[in-house]
Amino acid sequence: MNLFSIKDKVALVTGGYGHLGKSITSALSKAGAMVVVLGKNKDKFEAAFDDKNNLNVCFQECDISSTESIARGYEAVLKKYNRLDILVNNAVYLQGRGSEPISDTDWQYSIDGCLTSVYRCIREIIPYFKTNEISKIINVSSMYGIVAPDFNIYSGFEQYTNHPGYGAAKAGVIQLTKYFASSLRQHNILVNTVSPGAFPSEEVQKSKGFIENLSKKSLLGRIGKPEDLQGVFVFLSSSASDFITGQNIAVDGGWTVI
């Protein structure tokens, strides 16, 4: 359906070679976009996309902790493809666990990696997006930006608990989305958020007891698979969502319903 096509668009995906990022990148490419993965580690990109299967994907070095690096990355992509259409703010960095006392350093680092970095990426893309007829920004939050953790799930599995700075930052991403959806409306820059539920990495999935706990919490009785996110990112990138802005879509198997 042409409604969901993003053919000839250029999409930027921060951290587009990670557990969820790879699936997002693949989906946008299959929907017709040229997808540029912004990241610090080209080797990880090459490993993730060693067999590209006709995907239109490439790597651009970019450190989301640095305004200068972000600006250089955007400029390099514009020079190469002559347009920027879609930005997916997926990458994060954080330190510390909820089962441990959180130092000021770990707190500040995590807030920077989960919230301030998103602001940097949005701020630096605005001048480019203002020249477009329509542009899309999709931020990645979390179910823990909506609800508090159920700590019963983490009993005996405390090593998987995110500290309070993670949820606070992800809640901030949702509010940041609303702010920019309002402030950028006259430029037809649409800003939305996707909040994934339980999408544990392959390494975490080795802990069968913890995965069972997560699955029971979901109304659908299972954890999320990376491909479960593909449809919503294509939808929010395409013309099918041209009258949607400032929204947060939870892809969580019903976790946040109750």
pLDDT in tens, 17-50: 999 999 999 999 999 999 999 999 999 999 999 8
Q: What is the DSSP letter of 65?
A: T
Distance (Å, whole) CA 209 – CA 221: 14
> Residue 41 CB: number of other CB atoms within 10 A?
14
Distance (Å, whole) CA 200 – CA 160: 9
Which backbone phi and psi does 162 adopt, to 5 degrees? Answer: -80, 145
Residue 89 near residue 12, CB atoms below 8 Å: no
Amino acid 236: pLDDT? 98
In this prediction, residue 1 has a pLDDT band, given cuts at 50, 70 and 90, of low
Amino acid 99: pLDDT? 74
Query: What's the mean pLDDT in 211-233?
Result: 98
pLDDT tens sequence across 71-108: 999 999 999 999 999 999 999 999 998 878 899 999 99
Q: Which two tokens stand for residue 148?
A: 């508090």
Query: What's the mean pLDDT in 200-204?
Result: 96
Residue 212 has pLDDT above 80, yes or no: yes
Residue closest to 252 by CA, chosen among 224, 215, 217: 224
Q: What is the DSSP letter of 251?
A: E
Lowest average pLDDT, out of 3-7, 51-55, 56-60, 168-172, goes to 51-55
Give the mean pLDDT of the chain. 96
How many residues in the chain?
258
CA of 212: how far to CAs of 11, 45, 161, 185, 208, in Å?
36, 31, 15, 43, 6
pLDDT tens sequence across 142-169: 999 999 999 999 999 999 999 999 999 9
Distance (Å, whole) CA 166 – CA 145: 8
Distance (Å, whole) CA 86 – CA 34: 10
Domains of the chain with bracketed CATH: 2-257 (3.40.50.720)
SS (H, E, C) 2-16: HHHCCCCCEEEEECC
Query: What's the mean pLDDT in 180-205?
Result: 98
Stated pTM of the model: 0.97
Q: Which two tokens stand for residue 2?
A: 């042409």
pLDDT tens sequence across 109-154: 999 999 999 999 999 999 999 999 999 999 999 999 999 999 999 9
